[in-house]
A and B are shown apart, each in its own frame.
Chain A
Amino acid sequence: MKLQFVGYSCFDEVNRIIDELMSSIPQDIKRKYEDAFFCIVVALRELLNNAVEHGNKMDAEKKIICEFSLEGNILSLVVIDQGQGFHITEVLDKVVQTCHDRERFRGISMVTSLGFFIEVVGNQVIAKLDMTKL
């Protein structure tokens, strides 16, 4: 199964894309992975928020693209923005250097803590999850 959504770069569009995604996924898949979908939505929201805020710098004229695919037990989320991309190690280093009550630098580390493997290629963030390991 592969789904794609395109939206303008604002937080209301993040909500819309997630609502559309959830209503596009067949009920039997949602039932099979009921607990996993809470984590998937949390992770996807973080990636989309990052694309809006850091990738597209809150420029509502820019676009965000979200691809969702499930092949076997491997779930893949791809979020594309119109920014310059970033280095994943630099972001995760900031997390290591700050304490639990930091107010920012939490989104990407949340996604990895949920079990996703993240790869950044240019302005694409690819997050993969083995659904059997949740």
Chain B
Amino acid sequence: MIANIKDSKLEFKLVQDVTASWVQGKLEQMRRMMKEEKSYQEVVIDMEDVEVIDSIGISLIIGLYKSSCKLSKDFKVVGLNGRIKSLFEMMRLDQVFSVER
């Protein structure tokens, strides 16, 4: 995972499969960065390099979305491949936050 602030956006670029074996401990780490950084208005999760996600990975994304709401920051997920985007839509997550290819 690579974190970067640019143009008032805190971007988390996920560069590996977002599955249970990777996710453990990441939510707290990412939440801490969101709280410590002040100079951003939007959280962007870039999933361009993600080929596989599971429900525990989806829980991580939802956890980050909820943290963004608490911090009054905008939130979106970008770079989803077609299959993962369909999975998000199947679970109606596109009705919860912005989901882009």
Contact = CB atoms under 8 A, between A and B. Distances in A.
Contacts of B55: 46, 49, 106-107, 110
A41 interface: yes
B95 A100 contact: yes
Nearest to A107: B55
Contact of A14 (B21, B58, B83, B95): B21
Nearest to A45: B54
| Interface range on chain B (Cβ under 8 Å from partner) | 20 to 34
Interface in A43-57: 45-46, 49, 52-53
B20 A100 contact: no
A106 B96 contact: no
A15 interface: yes
B65 A101 contact: yes
B59 interface: yes
Nearest to B65: A101
A1 B62 CA distance: 38
B66 A101 contact: yes
B30 interface: no
The size bracket of the interface on A is 20 to 34
Judged by DSSP, the binding face of A is helix
A81 to B, nearest CB: 15
Interface string B42-82: 00000000001011101100110110000000000000000
Contacts of B95: 100
A113 interface: yes
Contacts of B91: 100, 106, 110, 113
A41 B52 contact: yes
Interface in A22-41: 35, 38, 41
Contact of A46 (B21, B54, B65): B54
Contacts of A35: 83
Interface in A76-124: 100-104, 106-107, 110, 113-114
B19 A11 contact: yes
10 contacts: A14-B21, A15-B21, A42-B54, A46-B54, A49-B20, A49-B56, A53-B20, A100-B92, A101-B65, A107-B55
